[in-house]
């Protein structure tokens, strides 16, 4: 780039504050990641996402659990709902419940999960790991789901 006299700027370290919202590349890319993940999942899924009633019978809608209700997760919930699936959402931050429900999804509440919310409202990077009891409750919710979408730190291991 130096030889071609190209100027390049890295925008991922711009603070996530209201004044810099128009330059927030993390949120815009997370938004696209949530959308794209659902489109990919719908493509790979054996059945259709929406409920379909035909003369041959009824195809039940897909059931999807989205783990993580940040920017990407909320976009995944919204896109999945638009495709006609039944959606459930989970997040380690109790405040995310209202956002998940506002998109028409059911929030999975798990007793015993620590609140892993930072002062800025984001989920802690390695916080919110699920202990054995809450983990089994979320895994029961996973049973029978068509797809499980997860973006961000894994609540089971803390790994991204």
- Annotated catalytic, 82? no
Among residues 27, 29, 82, 148, which one is catalytic?
27
**Length reported for the chain:** 160
Out of 35, 122, 145, 148, the active site residue is 122
Judge whether 28 counts as a catalytic residue: no
Q: In Å, how far are 16, 17, 75, 124 from 21, measured between CA atoms?
A: 7, 6, 18, 21
What is the three-class DSSP state of 86?
strand
Q: Is 27 a catalytic residue?
A: yes
**Catalytic pick among 10, 16, 45, 154:** 16
Active-site residue (options: 2, 21, 82, 111)? 21
DSSP string spanning 101-119? Answer: HHTTPEE---TTPPP-B-T
Query: Does residue 154 have an active-site annotation?
Result: no
Q: Is residue 21 annotated as part of the catalytic site, yes or no?
A: yes
Contact criterion met (CB below 8 Å) for 142 and 66:
no
120-154 as b/e: b if 16+ CB within 10 A: eeebbeebbbbeeebbebbeebeeebbbebbbbbe
Query: Residue 152 has which token pair?
Result: 């961000």
Active-site residues, by number, are 16, 21, 24, 27, 122
């Amino acid at each position: 780039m130096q030889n071609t006299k190209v100027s390049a700027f890295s925008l991922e370290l711009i603070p996530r504050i209201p004044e810099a919202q128009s330059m927030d590349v993390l949120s815009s890319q997370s938004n696209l990641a949530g959308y794209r993940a659902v489109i990919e999942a719908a493509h790979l899924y054996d059945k259709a996402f929406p409920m379909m009633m035909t003369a041959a019978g009824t195809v039940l809608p897909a059931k999807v659990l989205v783990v993580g209700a940040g920017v990407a997760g909320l976009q995944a919930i919204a896109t999945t709902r638009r495709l006609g699936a039944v959606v459930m959402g989970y997040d380690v931050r109790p405040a995310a419940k209202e956002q998940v429900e506002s998109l028409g999804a059911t929030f999975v509440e798990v007793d015993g999960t620590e609140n892993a919310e930072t002062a800025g409202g984001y989920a802690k990077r390695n916080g919110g790991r699920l202990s054995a009891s809450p983990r089994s409750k979320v895994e029961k919710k996973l049973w029978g789901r068509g797809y499980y979408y997860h973006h961000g730190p894994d609540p089971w291991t803390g790994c991204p």
